[in-house]
Amino acid sequence: MISHTQRVKAALEGKILDRPAFVAWGPHMNLVDRNAKDFAKATIDYQNAYGFDFIKVMSNGLYFPEAFGQKIRPAEHILDETWQNTQINVINDPHEWARLKVPSMKEGVFAREIEVVKRLVDYFQGDVPVLPTVFSPFIWMGEMTGGYFRQETIVAHFKYSEKYARIGLAVVNETNELLMEEFVKAGADGFFLGYQAGMAGIMGKEMFEEYGKKYDIRNIQKIKDRTWFNMAHVCHGDAALSEWFLDYPVEALNWADQDSEQHSFAEMRRLTDVVLVGGLNHSTHGSYKDLSVMIKSPSDLSGTCRDEIKARIKVKIRNAIAAAGSKVIISGGCGWGIGSLPRFGLWEEAMEEIGQDMNVAP
């Protein structure tokens, strides 16, 4: 029997074994992600239910600033996504960067996240690759100063309070590297590396290369020889901005290829030889604040007719393979909304049928 790890390694080599690899993630752990035991169990159940080919550890997107003292309201229900729930930011004035200290890896938030990875690694015993989620230092700094809704704040700190912002960047980068080191010790196979192309665009290329890219590549190089599957997730932005990340030393690239402003699989394949991750429209996360948006912008798993949904998925999968070749993992361009979960089993069924079709083809 082929393991999930074997399937991902085959994709890295440009091979397809019994079927193409596939994966999905999203903000699905917000009711359990503050407790290592609950979080690990929920992740194990999620993986066992859907049979994905690697685990993107779905930590709350603010766990890093949480470790520095950011106050985050606990989620009240499954659609109450953590990234919207900051009550007090770590940094409210650029001078506060000078007071930042590296948090402990042995207790508190980071110890919790490391324990989750260890529990997953111990449970799956190498059968499923485990990828903790780590963002770029400049993204973490953006989350500390207001997050997605105030992206210009951290850019202003770099522009007008460079002395203090550089002090903060040094601490955040050191923390990122120490955390990644601990994840590797816990058995992580690689990392899901989150990069905000949209914020890079706000920074401009010169600032991005000085305060972002340089540190991103350093972070990867620190663990490169002890991991085998690192994936860059390039979020937001457009086709031109996504190209800023193409020389990152990773094995796989994920972006919103279904977005008309982004590169298609065929276009991206002409630019890079890494594994391309995507091929399906994941639509929006959806939340209790924007259900109307979620309904108006359906994913490829949306609909009422089972056969139509499966046929649509299979066409998209075949198109992705035709465009990208065998170095492909089927997924969405970002996190899947909670409403997609009931269709994941159907998606798995489509993957199996694609594999059967490929193996009987002349």
Give tens-digit pLDDT for 287-340.
444 444 444 457 899 999 999 999 999 999 999 999 999 999 999 999 998 889
Percentage of the chain modeled with pLDDT above 70 = 95
Q: Is the pLDDT of residue 114 over 80?
A: yes
- Mean of per-residue pLDDT scores for the chain: 93
Distances in Å between the Cα of 74 and the Cα atoms of 59, 77, 139, 159 are 14, 9, 22, 33
- Answer yes or no: is pLDDT of 149 > 70: no
Domain boundaries along the sequence of the chain? 4-360
- Tell me the per-residue pLDDT of 150-198, one tens digit each, with 9 for 90 and over: 888 999 999 999 999 999 999 999 999 999 999 999 999 999 999 999 9
Pairing mode, strands 71-72 and 86-88: antiparallel
pLDDT of residue 284: 53
Q: How far is CA 11 from the centre of its chain?
A: 18
Alpha-carbon span 101 to 352, nearest angstrom: 49
Contact at 8 Å (CB) between 94 and 164? yes
pLDDT confidence tier of residue 246, bands split at 50, 70 and 90: very high
Tokens representing 104 are 């402990």
- Ramachandran class of 339: left when φ > 0, alpha when ψ lies in -120 to 50, beta otherwise: alpha
Region 232-249 average pLDDT: 96
Minimum mean pLDDT range among 79-93, 199-213, 215-229, 272-286: 272-286
The pLDDT value given to residue 238 = 95
**What pLDDT does residue 202 have?**
93
What is the fold, at CATH topology level, of the domain defined by 4-360?
Answer: TIM Barrel (3.20.20)
pTM: predicted TM-score of the whole model, two decimal places: 0.94
Residue 132 — pLDDT band, cuts 50, 70, 90? very high
d(CA 4, CA 62): 29
For residue 261, give every residue at least 6 positions away whose Cβ sits within 8 Å of its Cβ, in sequence order, or none: 238, 239
Report pLDDT for 295: 44
Question: pLDDT tens digit string along 17-57?
Answer: 999 999 999 999 999 999 999 999 999 999 999 999 999 99
Work out the percent of the chain whose per-residue pLDDT is above 90: 87
